[in-house]
């Protein structure tokens, strides 16, 4: 079948994390999909740090996996270290993170995509979009091909008119060693889209053989590592590679300051906004002048490479300044550079121009995912890609869009934040952004999402069966603990060991188990409980669910009740293209913001910046509520 006469269901522009998940999702849902990327060797390239997950980001990777995406599986297969962050806090804050082998990660992604039915590949640069009125009809490539499609997903990363800065040098590029993408921005602006510029940066890569690790603090992985994917096809790491920790110091800061007059960050050459929560090292010492040191994490790029990622030293200062300053860091005295750090500016499109299904409001069947929407991070990009892929496939099948609520997933929070509030700086997910984070834990993403994904045709029957089994065994164990009485002779020795108050008479085990200082492992060898666990094949995952239920059921019930109240407002729809100028009691700012964003429900309207509770009351009265 020729590219010239094929009409694809879905064309995905760009093969980064967003594009890879988008292509996998649409193809797995039966849509005839084409992935177009500038270089097939760089599919799912880790352009910045060689890691997946982290605070709130780890929850997103587990949600992607629960929905049937590939990111969790690829991470497990190519990880070199695994850590569960925030384990000293409550389970809502636990966040998985893995260091990956950069080269294996990209190779594994490509292999999985090549094994995906309904997915074609083409290497070329897309430099224009084909429209028919206000509908997308396909793409134009640098080689002059016009490729037709019912839907198009643009996941251009940092490539749209990308500009790389190192000191006083500036050159076009999407990342080191790769050209920028031109033409798409211009076509979209002509169609009435609003565009902006954002900035991100990356640290130097250095030769690990030239570092002195004896001057640093070793950062090993977890003693009993877990994994991301819920599927049994991946396994926890049997061995791991350590990272290392060192620090900047006043001498490093003074050497960096020598280059401030030649820094594109400070001399006005970079005008766009960079990521607030991942600032460059020069930005850190400028903004936090009172701090004498900043952490530097020394992260290996893989199992068999000496290349090191210098996390915490993102910079676009001139090469000579980078060279001098980094040598003043303990352990880096004799460092050899593989490549210098740089900043990159690129085009993005304020995401208030999108619907909840990530389709643009101006052009039907055109979807955006990833950094084009103003986000930062592989995980945020991958999540958007998966949702755009699902919704593009559904559009071609004339089915209702798939939208996750804020109370259902971090992915729901991410997309709702973007399209309702917009963003003027690179958006990064945090647990604090989710008002229902006790419900949205990393351990229960499968329970929350797999059934919905299976109904779509994305999650496999194997995933559904595992979730059903997990639910049944969890309920069974909770019921057993609720009904099991333990005598003071059995339990008091355990309580005394933990310096806890003894009991005077027999008591139901679940009441004792709710004590915060008591862990399941403390009492799991009680005869009846031990037998029950063995007979019913209860694994670690089930025990974790039960333990969280025993200790946090009150908080979970309260949060669920709050979510249900908010979801009732989700069910109060606002007609499309509603004329807010008719509602004179609304504040001027509310009328302006509501007209621009066109929320689909009262709940979404309530989250728009500048719309007050009194404006919401006015709307509720107007809608007859």
Q: What is the pLDDT of residues 79-127, one digit of tens each?
A: 999 999 999 898 989 999 999 999 999 999 999 999 999 999 999 999 9
* Residue 205 to residues 176, 296, 298, 604, Cα–Cα distance (Å): 12, 13, 10, 43
Question: Can you give the pLDDT at residue 4?
Answer: 75
270 pLDDT band, cuts 50/70/90, is confident
1 pLDDT band, cuts 50/70/90, is low
To the nearest whole percent, how much of the chain has pLDDT over 90? 71
Query: Cα(71)–Cα(234) distance, rounded to whole angstroms?
Result: 12
**229-233, 318-322, 579-583, range with the lowest pLDDT:** 579-583
DSSP state at residue 216: S
Question: Can you give the pLDDT at residue 286?
Answer: 85
Taking phi first (over 0 means left), then psi (-120 to 50 degrees means alpha), and beta for anything else, what does residue 537 get?
left
Quick check: 82 and 34 in contact, CB under 8 A?
no
Quick check: 204 and 310 in contact, CB under 8 A?
yes
Beta bridge partners, 288, equal none
Question: Can you give the pLDDT at residue 380?
Answer: 98
Quick check: 407 and 563 in contact, CB under 8 A?
yes
CA 220 to chain centre: 24
Count CB neighbours of 485 within 10 A: 11
Question: Can you give the pLDDT at residue 121?
Answer: 97
Quick check: 19 and 45 in contact, CB under 8 A?
no
297 pLDDT band, cuts 50/70/90, is very high
Segment 522-553, tens digit of pLDDT: 998 999 999 999 999 999 999 999 999 988 88
Enter the tokens of residue 44: 């799912």
* Residue 432 to residues 93, 438, 543, Cα–Cα distance (Å): 9, 11, 27
* Best mean pLDDT range from 117-121, 162-166, 437-441, 480-484: 117-121
- Output 246 or 588, whichever has higher pLDDT: 246
CA 399 to chain centre: 26
The Cβ-side half-sphere exposure at 20, using a 13 Å CA radius, reads 32
Question: Can you give the pLDDT at residue 58?
Answer: 97
Question: Can you give the pLDDT at residue 280?
Answer: 87
Residue 56: is it exposed, middle or buried by C-beta count within 10 angstroms (0-12/13-18/19+)?
buried
57 pLDDT band, cuts 50/70/90, is very high
Average pLDDT over residues 239-261: 95
- Nearest CA to 158 out of 144, 128, 178 is that of 178
Question: Can you give the pLDDT at residue 625?
Answer: 55
Mean pLDDT over the full length of the chain? 93
Q: Residue 2: pLDDT above 90?
A: no
Q: First CA to last CA across the chain, in angstroms?
A: 56
Question: Can you give the pLDDT at residue 611?
Answer: 86
Count CB neighbours of 225 within 10 A: 19
Instruction: Say what the pTM is.
Output: 0.93
Average pLDDT over residues 365-386: 97
Average pLDDT over residues 566-578: 83
Query: Cα(289)–Cα(256) distance, rounded to whole angstroms?
Result: 12
Average pLDDT over residues 460-485: 94
């Amino acid at each position: 079948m020729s590219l010239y006469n094929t009409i694809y269901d879905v064309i995905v522009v760009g093969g980064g994390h967003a594009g890879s998940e988008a292509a996998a999702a649409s193809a797995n849902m039966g849509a005839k999909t084409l992935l177009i990327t500038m270089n097939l060797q760089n599919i799912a390239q880790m352009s910045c740090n060689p890691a997946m997950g982290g605070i709130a980001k780890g929850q997103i990777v587990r949600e992607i996996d629960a929905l049937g995406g590939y990111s969790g599986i690829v991470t497990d297969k190519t990880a070199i270290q695994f850590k569960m962050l925030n384990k000293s806090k409550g389970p809502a804050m636990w966040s998985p993170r893995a260091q990956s082998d950069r080269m294996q990660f990209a190779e594994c992604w490509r292999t999985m995509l090549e094994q995906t039915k309904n997915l074609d590949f083409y290497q070329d640069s897309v430099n224009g979009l084909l429209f028919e009125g206000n509908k997308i009809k396909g793409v134009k490539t640098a080689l002059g091909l016009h490729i037709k499609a019912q839907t198009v997903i643009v996941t251009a990363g940092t490539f749209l008119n990308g500009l790389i800065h190192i000191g006083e040098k500036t050159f076009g590029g999407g990342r080191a060693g790769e050209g920028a993408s031109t033409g798409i921005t211009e076509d979209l602006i002509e169609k009435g889209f609003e565009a902006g510029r954002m900035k991100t940066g990356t640290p130097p890569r250095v030769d690990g053989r030239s570092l002195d690790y004896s001057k640093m603090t070793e950062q090993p992985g977890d003693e009993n590592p877990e994994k991301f994917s819920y599927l049994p096809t991946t396994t926890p790491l049997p061995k791991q590679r350590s990272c290392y920790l060192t620090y900047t110091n006043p001498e490093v800061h003074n050497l960096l300051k020598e280059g401030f007059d030649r820094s594109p960050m400070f001399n006005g050459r970079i005008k766009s906004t960079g990521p607030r929560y991942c600032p460059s090292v020069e930005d850190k010492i400028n903004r936090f002048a009172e701090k004498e040191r900043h952490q530097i994490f020394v992260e290996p790029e893989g199992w068999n490479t000496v290349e090191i990622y210098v996390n915490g030293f993102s910079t676009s200062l001139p090469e000579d300044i980078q060279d001098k300053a980094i040598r003043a860091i303990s352990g880096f005295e004799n460092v050899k550079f593989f490549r210098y750090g740089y900043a990159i500016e690129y085009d993005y499109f304020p995401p208030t121009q999108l619907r909840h299904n990530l389709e643009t409001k101006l052009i039907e069947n055109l979807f955006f995912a990833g950094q084009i929407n103003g986000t930062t991070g592989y995980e945020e990009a991958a999540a958007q890609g998966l949702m755009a892929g699902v919704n593009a496939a559904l559009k071609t099948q004339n089915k209702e869009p798939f939208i996750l609520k804020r109370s259902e997933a971090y992915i729901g929070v991410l997309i709702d934040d973007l399209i309702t509030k917009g963003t003027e700086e690179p958006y990064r997910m945090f647990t604090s952004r989710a008002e229902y984070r006790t419900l949205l834990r990393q351990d229960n993403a499968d329970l929350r999402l797999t059934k919905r994904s299976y109904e779509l045709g994305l999650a496999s029957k194997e995933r559904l069966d595992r979730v059903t089994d997990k639910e049944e065994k969890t309920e069974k164990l909770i019921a057993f603990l609720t009904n099991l009485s333990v005598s003071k002779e059995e339990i008091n020795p355990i309580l005394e060991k933990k310096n806890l108050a003894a009991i005077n008479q027999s008591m139901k085990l679940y009441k004792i188990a709710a004590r915060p200082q008591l862990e399941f492992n403390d009492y799991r060898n009680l005869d009846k409980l031990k037998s029950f666990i063995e007979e019913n094949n209860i694994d670690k995952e089930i025990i974790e669910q039960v333990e969280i239920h025993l200790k946090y059921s009150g908080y979970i019930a309260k949060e669920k009740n709050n979510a249900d109240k908010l979801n009732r407002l989700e069910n109060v729809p606002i007609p499309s293209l509603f004329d807010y100028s008719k509602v004179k009691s609304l504040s001027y700012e509310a009328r302006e913001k509501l007209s621009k964003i066109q929320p689909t429900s009262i709940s979404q309207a309530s989250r728009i910046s500048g719309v007050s509770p009194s404006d919401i009351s006015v709307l509720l009265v107007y809608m007859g509520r």
